[in-house]
Amino acid sequence: MRMTVPTPLGDIAVRCLDPVPGARPEGDPAPAGAPALLLLHANPGDGRDFDAVLPALADRYRTFVVDWPGYGDSTAPEPARVTPEGLVGVAERVIDALVEEQGVREVAVLGNSVGGYVACRLAEGPRAASVTALVLVDPAGFTRQTALTRWFCREVMGRPARARRLVVPLARAYLGRLGTPSARETYARARELPHDAKRLAVHCALWRGLADPDFGFVDPAGLDLPVLLLWGRRDPVVPVLLDGRRARRMLPAGTSSVRLPTAHEPYNERPGLFLRHVLPFLEDPRAVTASRLRLPSRPRSR
């Protein structure tokens, strides 16, 4: 089932998946009153980037997968207006629609990259009462702002003439080994981006927005909900030793942190390992105790 949510930045496509038989033992019924989960993807990309982990998540949760404006099946009549702060407003409209059309009162939010930034901002803003837990996957927003980072966001990745030459090699780096069908399909979509003027314009507008004076959190240390922070130790976009450490310092003391042997999108690169951490957390977020950023011992193969 799909839902369309009108917003000032475009009509937003949301895939709606109810729990269905699959990962549960045969004959075990779907959970009654299953909790809700909202998935927010990175830039560039779309909701299909989560396809490798979606069956396991949708097996347990009412799962809602957003396409950001201009990506997937969502529209963006004015691509240059799509900013990270604008995505926060889009996500708020999506939550309102989930309340009105799907009867969702509370939702856990899983976000990657700019989607992780939006997830944090949702938990700080007027929809905070609806957000029960956060799963932040290599989230944006924790990079220290300098003249160099602002220049890179505005003048390199924020300019279509320059960005179109860098989008594909950067995607090849942040997707890691391309060892799964999902990762290869995500990479194939990224290879189309330089030839799609509207999607490229959205991509660049979001990068420019990262250098905007209004970009940033209110007080991430004050978040009053369970948080799971996952970071790929080989992430070339937001390095774990810089951004990951800063995120750990800025987020609440009770945040559970895990370093994974992946790049920027662990759900694409190592879906089984990703789910080993995410599913127990979502099952009982407040039961997960805080731990320092670490590499799991004896990681299982996907």
In the chain the first and final C-alpha atoms are separated, in Å, by: 28
Q: Which residues of 177-202 are buried (b: 16+ CB within 10 A; e: fewer)?
A: ebebebbebbbebbeebbeeeebbbb
The whole-number pLDDT of residue 298 equals 39
Structure tokens at 24: 């549960």
Over 60: is that where the pLDDT of 218 sits? yes
Q: What is the pTM of this model?
A: 0.91
In 35-138, DSSP assigns E strands to 36-40, 62-66, 107-112, 131-137
Neighbours of 15 (CB within 10 A): 20
| Residue 163 DSSP one-character state | H
Looking at residue 286, its pLDDT comes to 79
d(CA 227, CA 281): 9
Digit-coded pLDDT (tens) for 241-295: 999 999 999 999 999 999 999 999 999 999 999 999 999 999 988 776 444 334 3
Cα 123 from Cα 149, distance rounded (Å): 26
Express each pLDDT in 189-202 by its tens digit.
Answer: 999 999 999 999 99
113 Cβ neighbours under 8 A, 6+ residues apart: 41, 42, 43, 137, 138, 139, 140, 237, 238, 264
Round to whole Å and give the CA distance between 238 and 233: 10
pLDDT at position 33: 63
Q: What is the pLDDT of residues 17-73, one digit of tens each?
A: 988 654 444 334 444 468 999 999 999 999 999 999 999 999 999 999 999 999 999
